[in-house]
């Protein structure tokens, strides 16, 4: 066996190379296997693996090993895209769960004085082996692999589908935005699972395994909020002064009245007005806060304990549960701790139900008692008759054996005469009549006792 479980395109490439090397071969398993002589199987395999044979239906970077120097730039770009697709195909095909894979890259055209607004994208079709399934972590890993191998591709731009055309990747929107329904439900489920695990761990250590359980319901805020704050930053003020900015321009205007000036009056007493203008340079602080979706809006916790708790113990358990999940009373979070022995409205209902069930069972037993007694009596009569017949049969066998033994001892013939046979038959008939009479008498006595 040279190679087995080959794809049709791989088989064709291998056969073409074997024909070129003039190595005899046979094709088996419906074209999926190639067989050669046992003496040359290892040598042939090494020769083929040393050749640049495109396996998995794709060629890799070996495409450039024999490139033509007269190749145009467009042809070089196409070959590079083919080689890149082939290398990614081989890498993904190495996964244990993957049977076949195809990779398509959409690379935008770029030029020196032209920049395309289109982003590169990738589409991958995966065929899995029977009974195999890719985990979500593996799907995300394939997305990251392609994004790291192809320049410019983002993780959300890699789409993976199966052979039925079902998308295995989530429909992500623009990076940073919230995922739609599936992502929201997954986030809610993961949060509730984490909090419930913490509460159940506390209850298990407090009451023992299987003695308490808790369920958590979380309301998440899936809104994405952007808050922009702009503040004015003034210059540091000196002692006793109000903080101001840096003075960059100052202007003072003084206007005097038109009356003749009196030299004897001081200048402050003269009429007029003055105006001062000061321009400050201040700083600005702009702060933008983006609230990611998924913040907890409300938590509801329900804990059920098998042990009977009083009021003080219930409050202690509530405090433990609230501390375990981070309950905030101002937010409207609630914690309910209930004991199975003190469920409201259940004790009376259970008692009434038990009483009614007991009464019904008693009535059923009273109705069925005569019928059961008659059936039991009939079974006893049958058993007695069978026992009597078995006893008679045993006596007959024993009598015949004794008679034969007596005949042998006397040396006479084992065959009885007619008189002896009649006596034996008469004795057996007497025993049977006596047994039937005893059985009839016992049956009459039992019937009288039951009546």
Mean pLDDT across 273-290: 77
Helix locations, 299-345, DSSP H: 311-325
3-state secondary structure of 393: helix
pLDDT digits (tens, 9 = 90+) for 109-151: 776 666 667 888 999 999 888 888 888 888 989 999 999 988 8
Mean pLDDT across 167-183: 57
- If one compares 335 and 257, the residue with the highest pLDDT of the two is 335
- Alpha-carbon gap, residue 450 to 119, rounded angstroms: 98
Closest CA to 137 of 165, 102, 169: 169
Residue with token string 């008759």: 385
Closest CA to 160 of 134, 183, 184: 134
In the beta sheet, which residues pair with residue 162?
126
Strands 295-305 and 334-339 come out as: parallel
pLDDT digits (tens, 9 = 90+) for 392-437: 777 788 777 777 776 665 554 445 566 766 777 777 777 777 766 6
pLDDT at 324 over 80: yes
pLDDT at 219 over 70: yes
The whole-model pTM stands at 0.42
The confidence score (pLDDT) of residue 202 equals: 92
What secondary structure letter does DSSP report for 411? Answer: T
pLDDT digits (tens, 9 = 90+) for 9-21: 777 777 887 888 8
Question: Phi-psi bin for 162: left (phi > 0), alpha (psi -120 to 50), beta?
Answer: beta
- Alpha-carbon gap, residue 33 to 7, rounded angstroms: 9
């Amino acid at each position: 066996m040279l190679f087995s479980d080959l794809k049709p395109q791989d088989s064709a490439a291998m056969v073409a190379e074997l024909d070129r090397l003039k190595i005899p071969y046979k094709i088996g398993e419906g074209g999926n296997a190639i067989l050669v002589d046992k003496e040359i199987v290892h040598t042939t395999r090494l020769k083929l693996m040393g050749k640049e044979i495109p396996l998995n239906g794709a060629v890799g970077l070996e495409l450039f090993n024999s490139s033509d120097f007269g190749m145009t730039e467009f042809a070089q770009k196409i070959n590079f895209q083919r080689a890149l697709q082939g290398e990614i195909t081989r890498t993904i095909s190495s996964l244990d769960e993957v049977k076949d894979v195809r990779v398509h890259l959409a690379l935008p055209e770029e030029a020196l004085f032209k920049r395309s607004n289109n982003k590169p994208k990738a589409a991958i079709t995966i065929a899995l082996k029977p009974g195999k399934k890719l985990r979500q972590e593996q799907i995300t890993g394939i997305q990251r692999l392609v994004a790291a191998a192809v320049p410019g591709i983002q993780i959300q731009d890699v789409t993976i589908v199966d052979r039925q055309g079902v998308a295995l990747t989530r429909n992500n929107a623009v990076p940073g935005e919230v995922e739609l329904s599936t992502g929201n439900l997954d986030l809610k489920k993961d949060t509730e699972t984490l909090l419930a695990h913490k509460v159940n761990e506390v209850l298990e250590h407090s009451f023992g395994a299987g003695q308490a359980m808790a369920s958590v319901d979380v309301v998440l805020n899936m809104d994405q909020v952007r808050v922009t704050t702009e503040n004015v930053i003034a210059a540091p003020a000196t002692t006793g002064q109000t903080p101001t900015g840096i003075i960059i321009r100052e202007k003072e205007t003084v206007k005097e009245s038109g009356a003749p000036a009196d030299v004897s009056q001081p200048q402050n007493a003269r009429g007029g007005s003055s105006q001062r203008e000061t321009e400050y340079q201040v700083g600005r602080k702009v702060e933008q806060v983006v609230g990611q979706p998924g913040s907890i809006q409300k938590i509801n916790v329900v804990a059920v304990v098998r042990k009977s708790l009083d009021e003080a113990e219930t409050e202690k358990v509530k405090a433990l549960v609230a501390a375990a999940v981070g309950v905030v009373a101002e937010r409207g979070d609630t914690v309910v701790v209930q004991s199975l022995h003190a469920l409201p409205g259940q004790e009376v209902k259970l008692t009434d139900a038990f009483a009614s069930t007991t009464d019904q069972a008693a009535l059923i037993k009273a109705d069925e008692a005569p019928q059961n007694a008659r059936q039991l009596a009939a079974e006893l009569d049958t058993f007695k008759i069978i026992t009597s017949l078995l006893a008679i049969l045993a006596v007959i066998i024993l009598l015949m054996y004794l008679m034969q033994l007596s005949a042998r001892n006397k040396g006479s013939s084992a065959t009885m005469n007619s008189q002896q046979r009649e006596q034996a038959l008469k004795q057996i008939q007497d025993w049977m009549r006596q047994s039937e009479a005893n059985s009839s008498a016992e049956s009459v006595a039992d019937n009288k006792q039951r009546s």
